[in-house]
Structure formats: C-alpha cells, structure tokens
Amino acid sequence: MNYKEWIEQEDLDTAKVLLTNGKCYASAFHSQQAVDKSSKSLVIYLWKRSCKTHLLIEKEGLNPFSC
C-alpha cells in the first residue's frame, strides 16, 4: 500500500471509530475526506493528470448541473 492509499484508508478507519463512538459529525467529515481523496485518485489514474483543486467537478467538466 502506498502512502496515498494509506492516507485514504486512515480517514476511513478514523470515520468508523468515530461513528462507533457516537461522533457522527466528525465521522461524516472523515468519510467525506476519504471519498474526496479516492475520487481525486481515480481522476488522476483515468486521465493521467493531477488536480490540485477543491473544485474537481468543475475543473474536470464532470458537473451534471452546469450549463
């Protein structure tokens, strides 16, 4: 497992522990972080380019709600 996979897994593991202990808000935050990092990794893998932005959907033209 490389460091990026480890970071993504760490967020997911943290979310599970927090949820188990009734910390729903913090669990939701770490769950979102894990999904965000995984999504960016997929974009990098599929399109072979990095994306250093918080607006990944707009940057990659993936927003179904944009005109």
Say how many CA atoms lie within 13 Å of 28 toward its Cβ. Answer: 3
Average pLDDT over residues 29-47: 82
- Give residue 27's domain range: 3-60
Contact 47, 54 (CB under 8 A): no
Inside any domain, residue 65 = no
Kindly state whether residue 10 falls inside one of the protein's structural domains.
yes
Q: Considering its fold, how many domains does the chain have in total?
A: 1
Kindly report whether the global pTM for this prediction surpasses the value 0.85.
no
- pLDDT score for 67: 42
CA distances (Å), 14 to each of 8, 22, 29, 30, in order? 10, 12, 10, 7
pLDDT tens track for 45-62: 777 766 565 555 555 555
The answer as to whether 67 is a domain residue is no
Residue 64 gets which letter from DSSP?
T
